[in-house]
Structure 1
Amino acid sequence: MQTVLAPRPFNFTHFFVGFYLILFYQFGFLRLRAKATLILTLCVIAAIVIAQLLTRAVEPENFAAGMFYLLNVAVLGHSVNVNAERHVRERYVAVQALAHSNGALQVANAALAQKHDDLELARRDQQIRSDALIALREQQREAAEQASRAKSRFLAAAAHDLRQPMHALNLFLAAADEALEARDIEASSRLIGDARKASVLTARLFNGVLDLSKLESGHVKPVYASVDLSQVIDETVEQLAAFAASRGVALRYGRALRRPAWVRTDADWIPRVLSNLIANGIKYADPSKTGRSTVIVGLVRMPNYVRIDVLDNGIGIAPEHWDAIFQPFVQIGNPERDREKGLGLGLSIVNAVVALLEGHRLELKSIEGRGSRFSVRMPVADQFSLQESAISPVEAPSPQSASSLRGLYVLLVEDDSLVRASMEALFARWGVLFDAVRTVAAFDELLQTIERVPDLIISDYRLPEGSTAHDVVKLLGDHFSRPVPCLVVTGEAGVSMLGTLAERSVLSKPLSADMLIARMLELTGVPARAC
C-alpha cells in the first residue's frame, strides 16, 4: 500500500512510524503477556524483513536505520512489558497472599471466638463450682452448728437426767446413814434399797448414753452372722412378758409362725433393737384402753428379706413428731420426764443400730389415738453363711448368786481409789480372795510374790504411767504358762482389745453387781450354785 501511495524513494521515517505506533499499542495498551508479546513482535519484525527482501521497497541504508529504531522500540517495549507483567504478578501474589492472610485471620478470629466462648463457659462453670463450694461450705457449717447445738442439747438433757437419780442417791444414802446412827435397821435397809434403785437407774441411763455415743461415733463395728430371728423374738417376748403384765398390757406373738427365720445381722445388737421396740409399745399403752392394751409382735417372711413388726394400740404418734421421737431424750407422751416411762434413749439406739447394720431398714406408721407400728427389715441369710456361721441366740442366763464366787482368787488392777475400794468391799462380801494394786509396775511385782495362780484378773483399761490393760495381759502371758482369764472394766468408749481378749471380756462402767457376777462366772467357768 505504501508502494502505491508513495513513489520511490519512500520516506522510511513515515514508513517506520506506523510500525512504532503498532508496537507501542501492542506493548502498551494491549498489556499482553511478555512472552507472547515478544513472540508477536518477532513475528512482525520477521514479516517486515521478509517483505523488504521480497520487494526491496526501501533502500538498504534506510531500512537498516529504520530497523535499528524498530528494534530499539521492540526492546524498550519488551522491557516495559516485562516490568508491567512482573508488577502485575507481584500484585497478584500480594492479592493472593492478602486473601490467604484474610482467610487465616478469619480462621484465627473464629478460633479466638471459640476460645473466648470456651473461656466464658469455663468461667461460668468455675463460677458454678465456686457457688456450689460456697453453698456446700455453708451447708457444712450449718450442719456443724446444728450438730453442735444437738450435741449441746443432748449433753444438757443427759446431765439433767443424770442429776435426778444421782441427787436421789445422795439423799437416800444420807437418810440411810442417819437411820444407821439412830439404829433403825429396818429404815436403813429400805433406804439403801431405794439408793440401789437410784444407782441402777443412773447406771442404765449412763450406759444408754454411752451406747448411743459409741454408735454415733463409729466405734461400733457390727459382726454379721446368721441368726434365727424367730428364736430372738421368742426369748425377747419371754423376757418382757412380766413387764407387760405389770403394765396390764397383753403381749402376743403367734406360735404358729415360730419356724426358723434365718437373717444376716448382728447377734448382739438385734435383740436390743427388738427389746427396745417392744418395751416402747408397752410403756406407751393407752390408759383409756385398760384391759384391752395389746402389743403384737409379727414376723413377715419374704424371698429376700424378713420383717419384724411391733404393733400396739397405744396413744399413737402425731405425724409431726415422727422424726423427733428418734432424737435422744425426746418423749412425746412424757412431758414431765417420768423415769418410770423410760429414759428416752430406746428409739434413738434403735435408729442408730439400724442405720449401722447393712441392709437393715426401720419403718414407722402411726395414727394418733389408735396406735403405732414399728417395722425392722433385714436381709435373709444366704445358704453359704447359714452353713458356715449359723448362730442361735443363747438362752438368757438364770439369776446368778454371789455365793458361786466364794473361794476364787482374783487380782484387781485399778488406779481409782474409790472404784478399787468398792470392788474390794464387794469381793469381801462375796468371799472372793483378792489382791489389789493400782499400777502395772505394782502388778508385775505382785506376780513375782504370789504362790497361787489367780482364777481371774480384773483390770481397768487406762492405767498410770501410760500403761493399759494390754500391758497387764502381756505380763500374764509372760509369767504364766497357761492362760488366765482377764476381765477389762473401763469407762472409756471405743476401747478395743481385739487380738488380745474376746469382746465379752470387756465391760463398760458403770455396771451392776449382777452383771459383774455373771461375767466373772462366765470367764472362770464356775457353775452357778443355787441361791
Structure 2
Amino acid sequence: MPARRRRPLPWLAASSAASAVVGALLAVPVLAPPPPWHLLAPLCIGIAALLAVVAGWRARQQAGALDAALARAALAESERDALQRDVHLRERLERELVQAKQAAEAAAMAKGEFLATMSHEIRTPLNGIIPMLELIARGQLGTEQREMLRAANDSSLQLLRIVDDILDYSKLEANRLELEITSFNLRDLLDGVLQLMQRSAEAKGLRVNLQLDPAVRLPVRGDPVRLRQVLSNLIGNAIKFTARGSVELRVRRLGETPAQHLLRLEVRDTGIGISAEQQERLFRSFTQADASTTRLYGGTGLGLAICKRIVDLMGGRIGVESGSDQGATFWFEIPLLKVIGDLPQLQGGLPRLHALLVGADLRLYQRLKALLPNWGVQLSKVDSTQEALERLRAAGPALPPYDLVIGDLDGLRQSARALQRAVGRLPAPHGVRLIWLYGEVEIPDEIRAHGALLSRQAADLDLRGMLALAAAAPAASVEPASPDDALYPAHAAEPTPTSAIATEPELDTAAGPASPPADYRLLLVEDNPVNLLVAQKLLDVLGYRSDSATDGAAALARLDAQPYDLVLMDCQMPVVDGYAATRQWRQSEAAAGRPRLPIVAMTANAMAGDRQRCLEAGMDDYLSKPVNRELLAECLQRWLPHRAANAMPVNAALADVALSADAEEATAENAAAPTPTAAVAATPAVSVADTAPMLPPTPLPVLDIAVLDELRELAGGATTAQIVELFLDDAPQLIQRLEQAAAIPQLDPLRDAAHTLKSSAANVGALALSAAAARIEAGVRAHQLERPAVAVALVIAEFARARLALKGYRNTLRDAAESTAP
C-alpha cells in the first residue's frame, strides 16, 4: 500500500516560510504557536495537588510551632511560678534575716546594757568597799588584822579587774571602744605600771625590771589608759605564771616617721612557758593554754584577747615567743604620735664624769652602760672590792681618776662595808663619791647611816638626779638618812612651795599691840559655794567675823555700804571679776581720799603672770587655793594689826615682787598639780633648783584624806560633810558647763569653769580632779588645748572616781556622828 502522502499543515508551512523570511530578512513578525490546551487540565490538577501537599505541610508545621509555643508558654508559666515562689521565699528569708539581725542587735544591746548595769552594780559596792578598806588601813591595826585587810583589799581589786575586763571586751566586741589621744610621758606610765605590779611580784619573791632604750623619746601622744591596760595584763600574766626568777619589761625604738615613733615593748618572764601548739590558741576569747592553767592559776582568758583587740585598734601587732618550761616573751609593736617640739630625751646636763661600777651583775652593767654614756658619764666595771681598790689607788696621769663609785650592794654583800670604809679613807685629792644600789639584801647599819642609797628599781630619772647631786656635792657627803627614801640624800633641800608675793617688807609686830581678831570685819568675795563655805569656816576658826559676796559687783556694793578692814577677793567670778572690782575700788578709794584697804587675792592660779596681774590690778597680797590655815593666819596678821601703815600706796614696791621657784616652773604640764600650800612670803623666795635635783612627778591621789581630816579638825565633822555634799551638788553643774563650752568650743567659758572646778576640788582634797581641771585652764591660757572634748572627758572620769571616794568619806563622817549621838 503506497505510502500516504502527508500534506504539510498550512500553519506549519506558513511558519516555515515565516522563519525563512525572518532568517532572511529579519523583518517578518514571529507568530507564537497556540498553547497545548489538552495539557492544561492535568497541569492544573498537578498544581492543585502540589498546593494541597504544601498546605498540609504548612498546616502541620504551624500545628507543631503552635504546640512548641504552647509548650514554651507552659514552661515559662512554670518558671514564672517557680520564680515567684523563689521571690516570695527570698522576701520571707530577708524578712526573717532582718528580724534575726534586729533580734541579734537587740540581744547585743541587751547584753551590753546588762553588762554595763551589772558592772555598775558590782563596781558601786566595790568602790564603796575599797575606799573604806583604805580608810581602815590608816588606823591602828594589829599584824593579823592588817594581813586580813590586805587580803580583802586584794580580792576587791581582783574582782574589780575582772568586771572591767568583761566590760571592756563587750565594748571591743561591739566596736564601741575608741582611743582617746592625749600627751603623756612614757617613762611615768611605765613606772606607774611597775609600781602597781611590784607588790604582787614581791609576794612571790620575783624581781621586776625595766630596760628602757635611751633612744626612746619619752614625751609621746597616744592613749595612755589603754596602753597601761595592755602592759598591766601582760605583766600580770607574767607574774602569775612565774614561780621564781624575774619579770622584765623591755622597751626599744624600732624607727620613726615625721609624725610617729614605732616602739616595741616586750614582757619577758622565767615562768612555765607555752608550747607551739598552745600558742595557736592564745589571743582568743575565754581561752588559755589548757584547762589545767585555769585550775592552777585562775583567770577568765579574756586578758590576751583584750590586749590583741586594743593593739589592733592602735594600729600595731602582738605576738609571743616561747617554749615549754623556757619562759615566755610577749611583745607588741605600736606607733605612738610625736608631740610638738619633740626632742631627744635626757640630753647633756651632767659634767664629764668617770664612774666605776663594782659588782658582777651583768644585767645591771648593761643597763648602766646603755644609760650613762648618754648623760656624759664614762663607765668602767670591776667585779670585786679588791679590784675596785686597786683601780682607785692606781689613779694617776696614765689612768684618769674616778669621780663616782657605784656599788652593787646585792652582789658585794659582806665586802660592801669594806668598800665603804676604804673609799672613806682615800686621800682628799681623790674626791670619790660612793653610791650604793640596793635590792633584796638587807642593808648593813653602817651603810644605812653613812651611804648614799638608791634602789636598783629606781627610775632612770632618779638615777640621773642622784648622779647630778653626787657630782655637785663634795666627796663623802651624799648620805641619805634612810634607804626608804631611795632617791636623794636627806640633807638635800626639797623645793618648798612658797608662792607669794609681798608688796611690802614684813612689818614689825612689836610696833604695837595686835587687836583681837573679833574686832576686825572681813569681806569674803567668792562665787563658788564650796570655796565660800571652806573660807568662812577657816575664818570662823581663826576668830574673824566675815561677810560674803558672790561677785565683784556685790562686793563693791557692800564696800560702799559699810567699812571693812580687809577683803579676800577671788579673781575669776561672773558679772564683775576680782581684777575689775579691785580697779574700780582703788579708783573710788583714791577719789574719796580714803585709806588704802588691804585686798588679798585668793585664787587657784599659781602662774607668775597671774600673780603679777593681781598686783597690777591693785591687790596687796596673794593666797593660793586650797588655802592653808597657817598661811591665812599669817597673811591676816601681817595686814590687819597696822592698818595705819597701809594707808600709803604700795606701787613703789611692785618692782621688788619676788616670785618663788615653783611659780616660775609652773608650766601647762606641771600646773596640773595644785599647790598644797600657798605661802605669802614677805621676803624674796630662794630658788632651790641649784641645790637639789628635781623630784620626779608622782601621780596625784584621787582623794587626799589629809585635806579633809584637817578640814574636819577645823570645822567639825558635820560641817565637813556639808562641804563635801555641797561640792558633789555643785561639781556636776561645772562639768556641764565644761562640756557645753568644749562642744563649740568656747575657750573663755571653758577656762572659767575649769578654774572654778580646780579650786573647789582642791578644797575637798580631790587632787586628781583638780589637776585635770588645771590642765584645761593652763592649756586654754597657753593656747595649746588641742582637743577640749578629750580633756573634759578626762575631767569627767576623774570626777566619777572622786565622787565615789568623797561619798565614802561623807558616809564615814555620818556614821561617826550617828555612833557618837546620845
TM-score when normalising by structure 1: 0.47
Q: Of Structure 1 and Structure 2, which has the larger fraction of its residues in helix?
A: 1
TM-score in terms of structure 2 length? 0.33
Q: Which has the higher contact order (CA 8 A, sep 6+)?
A: 1
Decide which structure has the larger Cα Rg and report it.
1
